[in-house]
Structure 1
Amino acid sequence: YIKLLPPGFDQKEFGGDTEYAIMFGPDVCGSAVRRTHAILTYKGKNLLINKNVKCETDNLSHLYTLILHPDNTYEVRIDDKKIESGDVTEDWDMLPPKKIKDPEQSKPADWVDEAKIPDPEDKKPEGYDDIPAMIPDPEAEQPEDWDEEDDGEWEPPMIDNPEYEGEWKPKMIDNPDYKGPWVHPMIDNPE
């Protein structure tokens, strides 16, 4: 990538931390980072484009172009083919948001945002907890060479019980007090 430096910079002091106005070009760091950097400096902050702009990763040379238009639009081109475009004020976080969450408002304590609740009429069937999760395999047979003196009393292996339905939970019903998801009111940003 290249850095376009602001007027008045000292060439003798140039280094990695030198201020720049624009940084633009491909950034390929192994397989983790493969993108085209488009960083604009605004009010002392380096702002990376919010979009993931692709870059070429083959072994050929490519021409990267960044065009900034007077109407605050831009284009990113690779080999003179437009691969990205948009509005500078929308694709970089230069301006504060037009609307913000009203700091004077918060979700009411009695707001109900659970759409479903356990049915209070649904009762656990009698004997439900008596059904074991595992049962002895009814098809298992004691091996012919089993010796109770040496091996102890034979017990069949345990298998999942087809009648076991898991921990009992009441069915869920629509919550009559449900008000929907709470949406934080927005106000004009005073900045």
Structure 2
Amino acid sequence: MVDFNSVIETWHDFYSVLSQVSATFAGLLFVSLSLRHELLNHPEFVRVKRLAQHTFKAFLFLVIFALIFIIPKAGLLGTTMPLFLVALYAFVITARGLHIELKDKCDYTVQVSGASKIYLLSMLTYLMFGIVAVLLFLGIDKALYLVVGLVIWTLALVTTSSWKLLAELNAENINKKCE
């Protein structure tokens, strides 16, 4: 493998833009959900709130992944270890969220269609980020190209999740469900 720092440096602009885009989306989601703060704290919307928290964290994990890659001269261990540990943490808390989602099947609770699938696909994504960390550690620098696909996949997934959340929290649904 070529010098790891020089390989990562060629990706600097990509990860810089990724962190900016992800942070922007996280901010937009935060603002839009803040406008529905009272509703999200209503007991019937507990599952919607959980998915909103998951989606917000997914955007933040993209920011963290990007920031790990743009740490100056972090080296192989300084990049792969944090990447692996964050991916593992994201996987575990998403698995916990899926477990709670599957266990919490109350009739009175408003839910977002496809939430379980979003959790499952997120877990797959974090597993793949962990695999990328291992591949990079093993000297396979071409694994950086897998990150491009994972980023596109994750942005599509969390954008879909955001849209479903906002559709569930639109004014017409709110009035019908809170009456």
* TM-score, normalisation: structure 1: 0.22
Which structure would you say has the larger RCO, counting Cα contacts within 8 Å and 6 or more residues apart? 2
Higher-strand-fraction structure: 1
Larger Rg computed on CA atoms: 1
